[in-house]
Amino acid sequence: MKNILLLGATGSIGKSVLSVISENKNLFNLMGISFKSNYSKAEEIINNFLPKYVYIDDHDCYVKNATNNGSTFLNGDLRLEQLIKNTEIDIIICATSGFAGLKAASIAVTTGKRILLANKESIVAGGDLIMPLAKKYTSEIIPIDSEHNAIFQCLSGENGTDDVQKVTITASGGPFLNSPISDLKNVTLDQALNHPNWEMGNKVTIDSATLVNKCLELIEAKYLFNLEENIFDLVVHPQSIIHSIVTYKDGSSICQMSSPDMKIPIANGLSDMNRVPISFEQLDFTSLKLTFHEFPNDRKKIQDIAREVCNKGSNLGAVFNAANEIAVESFIKGQINFDKIYDVIYRTFDESNVSNELSLETINDIDRHTRIEAKKVVKSIS
Contact positions vs ligand NDP (CB under 6 A): 8-14, 34-38, 57, 95-97, 100, 118-121, 145, 198, 200-201, 204, 262
CB of 135 to ligand NDP, least distance (A): 22
With CB cut-offs between 5 and 8 Å by kind, which of Mg ion, ligand NDP, none does residue 200 bind?
Answer: ligand NDP
Q: Which is nearer to ligand NDP, 8 or 126 (CB)?
A: 8
CB of 158 to Mg ion, least distance (A): 22
* Separation CA 28–CA 187 (nearest Å): 43
| Binding string, residues 147-166; x marks residues near Mg ion by CB under 5 A | x-------------------
CB of 193 to ligand NDP, least distance (A): 12
With CB cut-offs between 5 and 8 Å by kind, which of Mg ion, ligand NDP, none does residue 36 bind?
Answer: ligand NDP
Q: Which is nearer to ligand NDP, 102 or 187 (CB)?
A: 102
Q: Which is nearer to Mg ion, 121 or 147 (CB)?
A: 147
Q: Which is nearer to ligand NDP, 241 or 347 (CB)?
A: 241
In this structure, are residues 21 and 4 in contact, taking their beta carbons and an 8 Å threshold? Answer: yes
DSSP letter string, 21-42:
HHTTTTTEEEEEEEESS-HHHH
In this structure, are residues 208 and 191 in contact, taking their beta carbons and an 8 Å threshold? Answer: no
* Separation CA 249–CA 226 (nearest Å): 17
Q: Which is nearer to ligand NDP, 192 or 247 (CB)?
A: 192
Which segments of 37-160 does DSSP mark as H helices, in order?
39-49, 59-65, 77-85, 102-108, 120-136, 146-155
Where residue 362 falls (left for φ over 0; alpha for ψ -120 to 50; beta otherwise) is alpha
With CB cut-offs between 5 and 8 Å by kind, which of Mg ion, ligand NDP, none does residue 325 bind?
Answer: none
CB of 218 to Mg ion, least distance (A): 11
Sole binder of Mg ion in the list 57, 121, 128, 145 (CB under 5 A): 145
CB of 266 to Mg ion, least distance (A): 12
Strand duo 91-94 + 2-7: pairing: parallel
The amino acid occupying position 153 is Q
Q: What number of other Cβ atoms are within 10 A of residue 364's Cβ?
A: 16
